[in-house]
Structure 1
């Protein structure tokens, strides 16, 4: 089986690559900079330098592939949804022109809304575009990544996370490695066809208050959480260097799911994955928090 994998150095993609290699597959990996690949994996893959926004390059890089793991690349531009549309054009052309039979797409909880969820709307656009091709496609509706906490290391060191969601509103939290396991299973399994949606919910829905308690126990630091206004969060995001368009797109991922949102798929045994936030935080996050700021 010839499997192509995008974002092979990303939080999920690197684990997809490693899982496929362990399964006996030599995947082709589409990377903007193949030099960033883990040295231990380079000889086990076929690396192709590709800009995912370059549709011609993506078509060429995926020619002959039987299956594709597609992740829309992250965007830091002024118009994130336009960037998602460009990436969508690349994957649509690749699947259509190369006759790729199976696609696993890393989407998000909230994409089922289709509109009104900020940056997630870009993922929804990719979903619908892939659906229109009639290929066998699985959309992974992933919960909130544990690794998003690594974007808030300064706040964690200071002892207070700031969020705009209600502190007692539960949501799905998931480890990227668990998402990768689901993705690799779908890529390798012959037991599905057509259009599929598979939520990836992690082991438990957690409120931000519960998250703060878990992080306190796992890291040995007292970590609290406070709810701030939308405007206060806008200020924080601007200070982080985000463009105005990206600020609104990032904010919308929370505001769009803040009230009256019910996921299309409820938690089941099939959507529940094993890695707990406590285990991940102890293994990964506490070391990052303790790192000295250079």
Structure 2
């Protein structure tokens, strides 16, 4: 039995789709089952509710061999620790009580980097990993850089202004990965019943690119000029709080990006095992361009 959290989310729904043709029993935790496709509802067992609820996770993890764990976004959380670590506590209790064998979780890279202790969401993700590992389950933390798919949040400015924005230097080359590749790695681990222990599994995409590199690729794929504009930390935080994010969560985002600029972005060495196939150009052709044209 495999349990999928966030099965309608950006990564979770792709993991679920990758598992539908397998022989495994699949159970999902979902607040709104109507958001599942008819095929998904027919194929899976549904536990309705939040995976931050003790009763829900207790029922969902009963008899489960493996769990795909994703902390849902909580822009209004009182702190990054509350959003990641505190949210995960009840599930960790249920991992132990229900005898879950393996957990695959979405996390962030940077463990051991000099700036990782003050890196906002990254610091909280690593603390969540430690909490999960402390339960005694076998754990694989998928440790990722920035997602290519995060650029979809700026579709309107790319489409209407030919610009996208971030705090990072436009010349800083860094890894970036497509969520479809994260889902592929996660599904492979969930279907493999042979691994044990606690390890990190970096998912770094195929190449390191700067935002200026990405702007050039976007321009070529979209057939229109696109440029990157660096903004200050103050402007970034004001934008986030203007969208309704709590001060603490906005500061966590700013701290994470600042840590990337101070060396965290290249802290994970690239290996053949951590290199995944979807290039930024391919992602632009298959995901960004259709979103711009929609």
Which of the five TM-score ranges fits, normalised by the shorter chain?
over 0.9
RMSD (Å) for aligned C-alpha atoms: 1.7
Aligned to 2:37: 38
Q: Unaligned 5+ residue runs, structure 1?
A: none
How far 1:184 moved relative to its partner? 0.9
Matches within 5 A, 1:87-236: 87-110=87-110, 115-157=117-159, 158-236=161-239
Matches within 5 A, 1:9-20: 9-20=8-19
**Any idea what SS the aligned residue of 1:178 has?**
helix
Q: Is the 8 A contact 1:80 1:119 kept in 2?
A: no
Aligned length: 290
How far 1:260 moved relative to its partner? 3.0
Q: Is the 8 A contact 1:88 1:126 kept in 2?
A: yes
How far 1:263 moved relative to its partner? 5.6
Aligned to 2:240: 237
Q: Unaligned 5+ residue runs, structure 2?
A: none
Q: Is the 8 A contact 1:111 1:141 kept in 2?
A: no
1:26–1:217 distance in 2 versus 1, CA, 3 Å: farther
CA distance in structure 1 between the aligned counterparts of 2:2 and 2:149, rounded to whole angstroms: 26
Aligned to 1:21: 20
Q: Is the 8 A contact 1:55 1:89 kept in 2?
A: no
**Is 1:261 aligned to residue 264 of structure 2?**
yes
CA distance in structure 1 between the aligned counterparts of 2:268 and 2:101, rounded to whole angstroms: 25
CA distance in structure 1 between the aligned counterparts of 2:79 and 2:155, rounded to whole angstroms: 24
1:200–1:231 distance in 2 versus 1, CA, 3 Å: same
Q: Is the 8 A contact 2:174 2:265 kept in 1?
A: no
For normalisation by structure 1, the TM-score amounts to: 0.93
For normalisation by structure 2, the TM-score amounts to: 0.93
**Any idea what SS the aligned residue of 2:38 has?**
coil
Q: Is the 8 A contact 2:215 2:228 kept in 1?
A: yes
Instruction: Decide which moves more: 42-51 or 106-115.
Output: 106-115
1:25–1:241 distance in 2 versus 1, CA, 3 Å: same
How far 1:92 moved relative to its partner? 0.7
CA distance in structure 2 between the aligned counterparts of 1:3 and 1:263, rounded to whole angstroms: 33
Aligned to 2:67: 68
**Any idea what SS the aligned residue of 1:162 has?**
strand
